[in-house]
Amino acid sequence: MTGLTAASGLSEIVSTVIPDLAPYEELYKDLHRHPGLSLQESYAASIATQHLRTHGYEVTTSIGGHGLIGALHNCRSSSCSETPASCSGKTLLIRAELDALPVLEQTGLAYASTVRQIDVRDGVEKPVMHACGHDMHIACGLAAAEALSKHRHVWKGTAIFLFQPNEEGGGGAQAMVEDGLYDPQRHGCKVPDVVPAQHVGGLPVGTIQTRRGAMASAADSIKITMYGSGGHAAMPHRTIDPVLLASHVVVRLQGIVAREVEPRTTAVVTVASIQAGQAENVIPSEATIKINVRTWDPETREKVLSAIRRIVQAECDASGCVRAPIFETISQFPPMSNDVEVTKKLEEGFAAHFGPQRYCSDGEAMNASDDFAYLATTVDKPYCYWRFGGIDPAAKPIHVNHSPFFAPILDTALKTGVEAMIVAALSILGRDGEYK
């Protein structure tokens, strides 16, 4: 190219092909008003399906639940004799999530969610909110899908947009793969060459960060039920109080990271739920806690999980429980490690398009987790996961993901996320000799 580096040429293309985002702001608001819990994402799935079909994508639905893909095969030229599925060029699979969280929204937005759903996982009615930004991811993905559909002259290959259910539960990506996502006899998704994804969050709005290598921790969520012996609150000596037992367990678990994990190693053990009893004058027969564990390496993970079992069993023995505690796995997220070569390729485009004031190539790794990598590792393909900002850094306090006050600054965050997806897509699929 004359007078332009490859990356800066890509940036000019991105600025040209990005669609009008006003309709996508309205689409985002609609999604935000109508969230669905994990495994109950039918509304978001229907919106994505309709939009992809409108823009010429081949859509396959009901993959591992409400999961779906939209594929667009773009051969080298209009005279290409190849079949759509065998088009020249690489195949890119871009992931966005569909599900929301059991959070009572308190943003005060005109389009705030008032939805309540009976959670199919436990039968309990809960408030529902897109408190993690998945509505933003859907809107960004659909806008990028429109851009690629309307400007096929700037890329070649196959673009696949995948909308995943049950990310918050940690099982959606695996469910899609196990339901035959890549199986030619089932859903027949073309195996991608590269799998990217992004996440909006607590960075300053308009900024973007990538990171080579380790990007996100592994996560294990566990439900533990401990059994005592119930009775009258006025006669505790005739009971085995599971509330007191659970309280001892919660406190004792805090010593795992402080005293059992090597100080230079990162780990988190959080008890975020404790449930026992219904009345103030009845000592219940059981108590349940839910624990979330974050670790970065297999050795630490095994050590922490083993310590949890040891502590719970020891406290049950100390309380004289006659029934063993029950441990149930709620979810498991694998760690994420971005492919170095793919990340380098995206760095070039991001740096040229966003500039040094908005783009950082050495972002921090996250203690948060995501099952996204399963979509790539099961077919032994490279992936890259990046973050983009959604918040006003001057706001006090700063409300981040999973907060009932989480509300990305819509216009700037949406534009940043759409541009990032297009930059990533063209960095991989751009036509030879133009800006690759």
CA-based max dimension of the chain? 87
pLDDT in tens, 268-284: 999 999 999 999 999 99
Report the pLDDT value the prediction gives residue 432, as an integer from 0 to 100: 55
What are the extents of the domains in the chain? 3-216+335-429, 218-333
The single-letter code of the amino acid at 270 is T
Asked if residue 237 belongs to a known ligand binding site, the reply is no
Say if CB 269 and CB 309 are below 8 A apart: no
CA–CA separation, 253 and 275 (whole Å): 17
Three-class SS of residue 40? coil
CA–CA separation, 8 and 4 (whole Å): 6
Report the pLDDT value the prediction gives residue 435, as an integer from 0 to 100: 43
Report the pLDDT value the prediction gives residue 11, as an integer from 0 to 100: 85
218-333 maps to CATH 3.30.56.10: no
Q: How do strand 195-204 and strand 383-391 relate by DSSP bridges?
A: parallel
pLDDT in tens, 347-398: 999 999 999 999 999 999 988 899 999 999 999 999 999 999 999 999 989 9
Radius of gyration of the chain (CA): 24
Chunk the chain into consecutive blocks of 10 residues (it has 436) and report each block's average pLDDT, rounded to whole numbers: 56 94 99 99 99 98 99 72 64 99 98 98 96 99 98 96 96 96 97 98 97 95 98 97 98 97 94 97 98 95 98 98 96 93 97 96 92 96 98 92 97 98 96 50
Say if CB 203 and CB 267 are below 8 A apart: no
Asked if residue 134 belongs to a known ligand binding site, the reply is yes
Residues whose CB falls within 8 Å of the CB of residue 331, separated by 6 or more in sequence, listed in order: 169, 170, 171, 219, 220, 221
The total of other beta-carbon atoms located within 10 Å of residue 120's CB is 10
CA–CA separation, 365 and 358 (whole Å): 18
Report the pLDDT value the prediction gives residue 415, as an integer from 0 to 100: 99
As a residue count, the chain comes to 436
CA–CA separation, 314 and 332 (whole Å): 25
Asked if residue 73 belongs to a known ligand binding site, the reply is no
Report the pLDDT value the prediction gives residue 434, as an integer from 0 to 100: 47
Say if CB 267 and CB 219 are below 8 A apart: no
Rounded to a whole number, what is the distance in angstroms from the first to the last CA of the chain? 10
Structure tokens at 166: 């049950």
Report the pLDDT value the prediction gives residue 20, as an integer from 0 to 100: 98
Give the predicted TM-score (pTM) of the model. 0.87
CATH code: domain 3-216+335-429 is: 3.40.630.10
CA–CA separation, 381 and 391 (whole Å): 32
Residues whose CB falls within 8 Å of the CB of residue 184, separated by 6 or more in sequence, listed in order: none
